[in-house]
Amino acid sequence: MLRLFDLCKGYQDGNEFHAVLQGAELTLQRGEQVALMGESGSGKSTLLNLIAGLDKADQGEIWLAETPIHAVTERERTAFRRHHIGLIFQQFNLLPTLTTQDNIAFCRQLKGLPEKPELWRTIVSALDLKPLLKRYPEEMSGGQQQRAAIARALYMEPDILLADEPTGSLDERNARAVMRLLTGLCEQLNCSLLLVTHSKQVASHMNGSIVLKGGVLNAQPRL
């Protein structure tokens, strides 16, 4: 599903070039669920942004299924993202003018898929979003917005889900429930999951872990 070859990305910092990714390589099979770990500032969000096609690598290749994300135009990357990639980012990115209900439906509509009431009910109930469906993002707490963002990403039935600390704003009980839902639904939808976390407990829900260190990715033994 996802293959990364020799991925390099850095940022200019005044007169100095700060290398973040220095030849990162990864293969993620369809349906595989992997935790992406690494110290703060090691480049995990940078890596997700490149895979999502929101930023361009300096060097290397990103293949999602048969699409060379590194080589297509920005327009093609956007179209690919809408159809195939679910995103749960740290800033949630809910549309402020839409209610929770409309935010959750939004990405599925963009993809041109018809509604799927059974999947809707499963997601809304598992994430405990029913009482919040009519609320706008500004009327919700960080954890509630995070749950809405998770629902939106899952309801579009992506081929791959990129999640940046999706339980970071949740208490332990909610975090466990959300991880069960995320991993269970990804399995049901045969969706690959690459999930950034600092928590070994969260990582233990996944098939495996990789650690980003010194700009490269290293597979970790099973936790």
In whole angstroms, how far apart are CA 155 and each of 79, 101, 218?
18, 11, 31
Q: How far is the CB of 18 from ligand ATP (least distance, A)?
A: 6
Rg (CA), the chain: 17
If one asks whether residue 146 binds ligand ATP (CB under 6 A), the answer comes out as no
Site string for ligand ATP, 174-203 (x = CB under 6 A): ------------------------------
Number of residues that bind ligand ATP (CB under 6 A): 10
Spatial contact of 186 and 1, defined as CB atoms under 8 Å apart: no
Q: How far is the CB of 140 from ligand ATP (least distance, A)?
A: 22
**Two structure tokens written together for 119:** 């999947």
Q: How far is the CB of 47 from ligand ATP (least distance, A)?
A: 7
If one asks whether residue 44 binds ligand ATP (CB under 6 A), the answer comes out as yes
If one asks whether residue 20 binds ligand ATP (CB under 6 A), the answer comes out as yes
β-strand partners of 210: 36, 219
**Two structure tokens written together for 6:** 């020799």
In whole angstroms, how far apart are CA 211 and each of 180, 197, 221?
22, 10, 11
Instruction: Select 32 or 165, whichever has its Cβ closest to ligand ATP.
Output: 165
Site string for ligand ATP, 24-43 (x = CB under 6 A): --------------x-xxxx
Q: Sort 14 into a burial class: Cβ within 10 Å, 0-12 / 13-18 / 19+.
A: exposed
Residues numbered 78 to 117 that lie near ligand ATP (CB under 6 A) are none
State the residues that interact with ligand ATP by CB under 6 A.
11, 20, 38, 40-46
